[in-house]
Amino acid sequence: MKLTSTLLIPLATLAACQNWYGVRDVAYIAADRINGGVMDAVNNLRNEILGTPNTAAGVRCRQLLNELSVDIGRAADRLVQIGQTAQGVIDSSRLAAPEGSTNSLAPLCPA
């Protein structure tokens, strides 16, 4: 019985760590996609809008596009912040070596 309870704690810790790795990775991937593909599409749209007449509708589309660009930039920034926060959890768990460990970087979240 003791062996089982001893094994459950590290397995539970590892499972929690895997979640943080996933959070970090998916956040960075999403930010890359926003900065890549989404911004490419927005820039293509910008080129189309810039080719429209300078009417009220054209001015409104330019204004909306500028707001969209700011919002997309903020979204990418937030995703990077999420990734950095997850990395901070991973890093801090690595530094918290178990009592009696000879390795100061003995990971609770293995690399």
pLDDT band at 81 (very low <50, low <70, confident <90, very high): very high
CB-based contact 49:62 (threshold 8 Å): yes
CB-based contact 65:49 (threshold 8 Å): yes
- As a whole number of angstroms, the distance between CA 101 and CA 107 comes to 10
Q: Quick one: average pLDDT of 13-28?
A: 81
The whole-model pTM stands at 0.70
Token couple for 41: 């599409």
Token couple for 48: 């189309």
Task: Output the pLDDT for position 90.
Answer: 84
Secondary structure element (H or E) that encloses residue 72, with its range:
helix 56-95
pLDDT over 90 (residue 95): no
Domains and CATH numbers, the chain: 19-84 (1.10.287)
